[in-house]
Structure 1
């Protein structure tokens, strides 16, 4: 027996939209700490080899010898402040053990509490380590070097563009200076080793840098249950952006290794990242691994050996980024580093959308109004498709009384009912598919904009109107979700009423379901949906009235 599937198309489209949004939402749900399964292995699509496990070392091993025993941190800290970044560097090893971002607050309204990205305490470890390993490496003989410093608190002075801090270590007749250089307004830290070799032998060592972090999931401020991707990322010639989460590293039986000219390795979380970017002109070795005996993960690089002849000087350096996921800044630092702003598989649509949203913001100066303006532009671009959809639904609505009459005449005889409906559609020149296909065509844009609004750090702690003080979190009073539900209810009223009472009830419940789901969505995303619905209602109302006022065919 044939069934009339056309009457299910509209509700199917709405359900599909809801399911897609729920699917995207599910990707942000809180993840438990990964279960360690060391007997398994992992493989990246980029070409690589695996190295023998180096024990539980914190320091990379590039030459034969016993594992390095690392001493506890001295807690003799050097503080560097630029107004954009506040760093604390441990003089033992010269590691960055604390990084705060004064321009990004931990919580909205707490002006004296900057967002802390790197930190080391009893509950959480997230630090950036660097040093020298190899033949004459300072970090390869048991203990980390203890540097001396002339000033343990340095502030970027007014009128100056940069500030540098030198940590000095004397290795017999070789003077090693570890220099940190920060630039005003930048989140990029230059880390350089200056070698002055006054010995009688050639000095040789490899620079390494690594991010050391546990799998602790930091609470986000973007609504209940949300925990975007948390883990490592790196680039290679074959795969420009590859995510390797904690579970992947925990399951690996051996160190994951990638050789790459230039390259970078990053630790990614919602809105913020840290990343090591070594010399782009050298062939660097990137490694990802988990400690065998603790919940600690290492993401780092090692450069080729630097050789300094007797009586001469040499230098090796790398950059460390610690800050927000700013697309434009990351593009300038290293190829493909901007892909850590993860727009999903529809990035090729999402990225131009973000660029256009930023362009609009340059004129308006308010992200909320910019979202509304972007919505208007998108609706204008898709107006021909939308108009075709609205015309189809208006014609279907006009045929409502005839459809009700057919149902009354043929009752439960679905086969006869379907045949008569097809005749009526043909006679009235109505395409029941016309109302759904244009909506499906626009779905990739809707999903792409969803990711843009979720990933854009620019919306974090950004106010809009009155009670909306942060577009990146849910509406505190649920006013926008309520308006969204109301606009959806009005839209359904403009659509043809399904002849099946069960279908009609489901359609009536859809606004309530969507309202509840959107109660926990970021206000910026709900604002887009409200604007989209409002414009759709205006367009659909005008077109519907035009069709209803026209003379019967």
Structure 2
């Protein structure tokens, strides 16, 4: 095998890796049926009814239908409807819809989503927020960073008294609920409970890099469903789940019950993504009570906050095959940002560090390429001499490599080692909440036109991807040409393919690839001058 053939294979492999994410951005498991199975069991939680617990009574029940109550924290503002504890609004104080300073805050529960009763409970198929009288204990809450506060919603559906005690913290996005179902009747009840979340699309429709999708978590890992065609029909889970959520690259709305044998299902209804986690077989004895803790998360996919949620909710941040590489690279990116205060500059600094680490391997690669370049005339002669005997030609080529002590794959093996790192950083940047609306160079130089003001969005003028393609072309021209003309044409065509793919990439990713190419060109130029 010749050195250049290996190079072609490496470059094509890298193109496939990047191109796959371009053409097929999400990687959900292939379902066996239209109703895909997703999740696995949570650790067993004792859920037997407490015999000593008494059923809730209605002695002090005072219906307050339609009343609104507001919870304000440094991180969000939530508005609940007293009828069932359903969310009417959940706006994030630190995130805006666009890059302009006066843009509206991101509201995870707008009017459209509110119609689907986010955080609503369904008992035995009956929505508890409809045709049920509810009372509210507590009023508006204004919490500081270190404060907590609670609201209590109480309602009755048939013989079942529903009590929801929701606790909020000013230090995070997690809402903890203590749910109790009490049987006020004279006979035991066997119930089915659905815990739901609902949210309108969290990203632009058709955004291949940042899709809105349903997610479930099981013991085998994260399962994603982003086929809107199947979600419109409804997908159900045949396996026990630990949590369910609607999420994009940057935001997540999820429900995390403390129970075993949960079932998950998801659907798109009138443009709203709905996820429900069901618990079957809840036995409520006559005059007794069943308690079920539930947690809800509504906020950014920030590891700092997700780590506080139960059942490994942080697994919602998924970097794919190169997760083990992406996570330390993100930590390094944060390290550089703490010093330079600009995410674009931090990306450049991280790229430079990676190139320094791989400098010896790159040096060896370029050196091997130069050795192969010297052998090209001899290899051409062998091809011509043994053009009708391919086996003999390969034998003579291998003998030539042995004689001159040249490894035909020596120029590529260092590149192969670097590919996982490159793609790991690519995934890390693509899913990093820090890059959303993060500015690098806000205005196009010498103009007042907005340019790289959002590293999570594409370059509006396509300058960086075009320059990136040009640097890749220059890099190819500086690399010793393959002896095979067909291979040479393929190599020169690769910059065109990459430029096309990168046109709509988030600009933070393009900056990384562009800087990487520039450093590689400088390294090759230095080696050529050093030789001369």
Q: Same fold (TM over 0.5)?
A: yes
SS state at 1:129 partner: coil
Alignment of structure 1 residues 476-495 onto 2, 5 Å: 476-495=460-479
TM-score normalised to structure 2 length: 0.77
Q: In the TM superposition, what is the alpha-carbon distance from 1:377 to its structure 2 partner?
A: 2.3
Cα deviations by residue, 1:220-279 (Å, 9 ceiling, x for unpaired): 39xx7425454333334x3243335567777789x636557xx43322222111122234
Name the CA distance, whole Å, in 2 between partners of 1:125 and 1:245.
22
Alignment of structure 1 residues 439-458 onto 2, 5 Å: 439-458=415-434
Q: For residues 205 and 456 of structure 1, do their structure 2 counterparts lie closer, same or farther at Cα, with a shift above 3 Å needed?
A: farther
1:267 paired with 2:246, answer yes
The counterpart of 2:131, out of the listed 143, 148, 167, is 143
**Counterpart for residue 107 of structure 1:** 98
1:241 paired with 2:242, answer no
**Counterpart for residue 75 of structure 2:** 84
**Counterpart for residue 527 of structure 2:** 543
1:382 paired with 2:358, answer yes
Aligned partners of 1:119 and 1:126 also within 8 Å:
no
Aligned partners of 1:162 and 1:184 also within 8 Å:
yes
Q: For residues 454 and 315 of structure 1, do their structure 2 counterparts lie closer, same or farther at Cα, with a shift above 3 Å needed?
A: same
SS state at 1:235 partner: strand
SS state at 1:147 partner: strand
**Number of positions where the alignment pairs a residue of Structure 1 with one of Structure 2:** 498
1:226 paired with 2:244, answer no
Q: In the TM superposition, what is the alpha-carbon distance from 1:372 to its structure 2 partner?
A: 1.8
**Counterpart for residue 489 of structure 2:** 505
1:360 paired with 2:336, answer yes
Aligned partners of 1:89 and 1:96 also within 8 Å:
yes
SS state at 1:104 partner: strand
Aligned partners of 2:144 and 2:170 also within 8 Å:
no
Aligned partners of 2:351 and 2:515 also within 8 Å:
yes
Name the CA distance, whole Å, in 2 between partners of 1:365 and 1:394.
41
Name the CA distance, whole Å, in 2 between partners of 1:545 and 1:371.
29
Q: In the TM superposition, what is the alpha-carbon distance from 1:428 to its structure 2 partner?
A: 3.4
**Counterpart for residue 514 of structure 1:** 498
Range with greater deviation from structure 2 (270-279 or 4-13): 4-13
Aligned partners of 1:118 and 1:126 also within 8 Å:
no
Cα deviations by residue, 1:69-124 (Å, 9 ceiling, x for unpaired): xxxxx765433332421223222221114322121111111534111222342x89
Aligned partners of 1:283 and 1:303 also within 8 Å:
no
**Counterpart for residue 46 of structure 1:** 40
**Counterpart for residue 347 of structure 1:** 323
Name the CA distance, whole Å, in 1 between partners of 2:270 and 2:346.
50
1:129 paired with 2:105, answer no
Q: For residues 404 and 185 of structure 1, do their structure 2 counterparts lie closer, same or farther at Cα, with a shift above 3 Å needed?
A: same
Range with greater deviation from structure 2 (183-192 or 334-343): 183-192
TM-score normalised to structure 1 length: 0.74
Range with greater deviation from structure 2 (297-306 or 448-457): 297-306
Gaps of 5+ in 1: 32-36, 49-73
**Counterpart for residue 336 of structure 1:** 312
Aligned partners of 2:3 and 2:369 also within 8 Å:
no
Aligned partners of 1:99 and 1:117 also within 8 Å:
yes
Alignment of structure 1 residues 385-464 onto 2, 5 Å: 385-399=361-375, 402=377, 406=381, 415=390, 422=398, 424-464=400-440
Name the CA distance, whole Å, in 2 between partners of 1:159 and 1:45.
34
The counterpart of 2:509, out of the listed 525, 533, 551, is 525
1:187 paired with 2:173, answer yes
Aligned partners of 2:245 and 2:275 also within 8 Å:
no
Name the CA distance, whole Å, in 1 between partners of 2:393 and 2:221.
55
Name the CA distance, whole Å, in 2 between partners of 1:309 and 1:232.
38
Cα deviations by residue, 1:322-375 (Å, 9 ceiling, x for unpaired): 011111221222242111011112212222222332233333332222222222
Aligned partners of 1:518 and 1:526 also within 8 Å:
yes
SS state at 2:176 partner: strand
Aligned partners of 2:234 and 2:268 also within 8 Å:
no
Name the CA distance, whole Å, in 1 between partners of 2:143 and 2:39.
47
**Counterpart for residue 28 of structure 1:** 25
**Counterpart for residue 59 of structure 1:** none
Q: In the TM superposition, what is the alpha-carbon distance from 1:386 to its structure 2 partner?
A: 1.7
